[in-house]
Amino acid sequence: MDKNLYQAMNEQVTKELFSAYLYLSMAAYLESKGLSGMTNWMKMQAQEEMFHGMKIFDYLNERGERVILGAFEKPDSDFQSVRDIFEQVLAHEQSVTASCNNVYSLALEAKDHAAVGFMQWFVDEQVEEESGVRAILDKLAYIKEDSTGILMLDKDLGSRPQPVFPPAA
């Protein structure tokens, strides 16, 4: 595997695992505010991010490459509002999208067709990730800081089901 692509994929594993850690921090904050539905949403999101990280982890191993995990900093734990949290989620997902696009571009440059095909799933997944958070932010724009609206959205987000992950290849 191309050296730059290998390095970027290793970094992407760490970024995906950090995403899970960040969302768990947000879940802890939301739980402390009594918003169990939003807590559930964040926990499900954290599980998805762990799956994403492990998907790249396993892919690198399948390619005969060694996974080198990087360190990450403590995530934020205090937030201004529910809207602030979801704005941070969107900004974070946009940074993950940029990173996935970079890995995809490196795979193209290296003419690593297997990696291009593999990373296409992540590129598509990021469209879904950003769209889902934008939909929540759109609802929050209508709600503003209305406590009844926040509680209704909390109930709605609490219905997010446990993610189903396909078996490893």
pLDDT per residue as tens digits for the range 97-127: 999 999 999 999 999 999 999 999 999 999 9
Q: Tens digit of pLDDT for each residue in 125-152? A: 999 999 999 999 999 999 988 899 999 9
Q: Does the residue 87 lie in any domain?
A: yes
Q: Which of 104, 106, 85 is nearest to 96 (CA)?
A: 104
Q: What percent of the chain has pLDDT over 70?
A: 98
Q: Does the residue 111 lie in any domain?
A: yes
Q: For 67-84, what is the mean pLDDT?
A: 94
Q: Does the residue 116 lie in any domain?
A: yes
Q: Residue 38 sits in which domain range?
A: 3-157
Q: Is the pTM of this model over 0.85?
A: yes
Q: Does the residue 169 lie in any domain?
A: no
Q: Does the residue 61 lie in any domain?
A: yes
Q: Does the residue 167 lie in any domain?
A: no
10 and 68 Cβ atoms separated by less than 8 Å: yes
pLDDT at 75 > cutoff 90 = yes
CATH label of the domain that carries residue 13: 1.20.1260.10
Q: Does the residue 121 lie in any domain?
A: yes
Q: Which of 15, 22, 13 is nearest to 75 (CA)?
A: 22
